[in-house]
Structure 1
Amino acid sequence: MRTTTLHITALAAAALLIGCSSADDSKNAASGAASRTVKVTLAPTQGRNVHGDLTLASAGTGVRITGKVDGLTPGSEHGFHIHEKGDCSAPDASSAGGHYNPSSMQHGNPGSGAHHAGDIRNLVADGGGSANVDVIVEGVSIGGQNDVLGKAIVVHESPDDYASQPAGNSGARIACGVIPANG
């Protein structure tokens, strides 16, 4: 009887340890997804000099974009969006398609109300023509629902007015970078 009790106790302890291990693995998998990052290099469109390097990282219910964009007109403001196709091959980056919009929303201000998933607040260049980027784009992910992998990031010539349809009247595309599909 004593041996049976010891075996049952040992089995219960083993089951408890396996359960704790599975919970830790789930936490590790979740934190691994939360820390996933990808790099994007922005290249100028034809006749432009705008370029930059960005890092995209999973951040809660969105994606944090950090980095720097150079070659902008000093003190200027520029539309900044995630576009639907990871293709910057056209000289004017028209190959990137329209704004990423998986929910078929109207274009709008990402800070308030309905908007495309790819709408991001405008970039603002400093006196030297550089813009430091640090923004969280809510409602998109790296590898999950509303996945941005395989899309493109585009910088526009003019500021986004957040109202004009379908894309904010932000003018020509002056830089484009592909978000790698393989992350």
Structure 2
Amino acid sequence: MPHKSLALIATLAVAGCATPMDAPSSAVALPLIGSSGQAIGTVRMWETPGAVSFRVEANGLSVGRKGLHVHSVGRCVGPAFTSAGGHWNPASRKHGLANPAGPHAGDLPNVPVAANGALRETVVLNGASLATLRDGDGSALVLHAGEDDNVTDPSGNSGDRVACAVISPAA
């Protein structure tokens, strides 16, 4: 019977390598566009009960923690991406996950960019659905140049918008 135990241990070891937040095969893939207008990565999004998850994979970014938010309009015209509008905020709350008068519905945790300029992170937007994000004008996932302080309205002092992915309206 020892060979069955070893097989079980090997199976559990391999299963333990998978990240629970890896994008499922049914995830919608969106190009992440940098300020130069070129794709710098991909965003995969999928819905779970009461939330939408985003798996962001990008390269060529400056090192450090970056603000990441869902913006209210599905347009990513560079280089400043102001076409994406403000943060998705249907309840008219203040910005910031740590703000007692917040957060905006589109506020997400900061994401880390590694020393090699790579971003590989999954974040969850609670209280959202694909239908709400893919409304009449869609929405956009926007990466900022700096870290979000999670309290300062309207964008947490997270700096310029450096990358953007369009979440298109439902067809």
* TM bin (shorter chain): 0.7 to 0.9
Q: Give identity over the alignment, percent.
A: 33
2:58 paired residue number:
69
TM norm structure 1: 0.71
Which of 31, 51, 59 is the matching residue for 1:41? 31
Partner of 1:9: none
AA at the equivalent of 2:54: I
Letter in 1 for 2:50: T
SS at match of 1:121: coil
Q: Which amino acid aligns with 1:153?
A: L
Structure 1 or 2, whichever has the larger Rg, is 1
Q: How many residues align?
A: 144
Are 2:161 and 1:176 aligned? Answer: no
Please state if 1:148 is matched with 2:121: no
Question: Are 1:85 and 2:73 an aligned pair?
Answer: yes
Consecutive aligned runs of 4 or more in structure 1 exceeding 4 Å deviation: 110-113
Instruction: Tell me the amino acid that sits aligned with residue 176 of structure 1.
Output: C
Q: So what's the TM-score if we normalise by structure 2?
A: 0.76
- Distance of aligned partners of 1:164 and 1:110 in 2 relative to their CA distance in 1, 3 Å threshold: closer
CA distance in 1: counterparts of 2:38 and 2:27, whole angstroms: 26
Moved more, 89-98 or 37-46: 37-46
Q: Structure 1 regions of 5+ residues with no counterpart?
A: 1-34
More helix by share: 1
CA RMSD of aligned residues (A): 2.4
**Structure 2, unaligned runs of 5 or more:** 1-24
Is the contact between residue 106 and residue 115 of structure 1 (CA under 8 Å) also seen in structure 2? yes
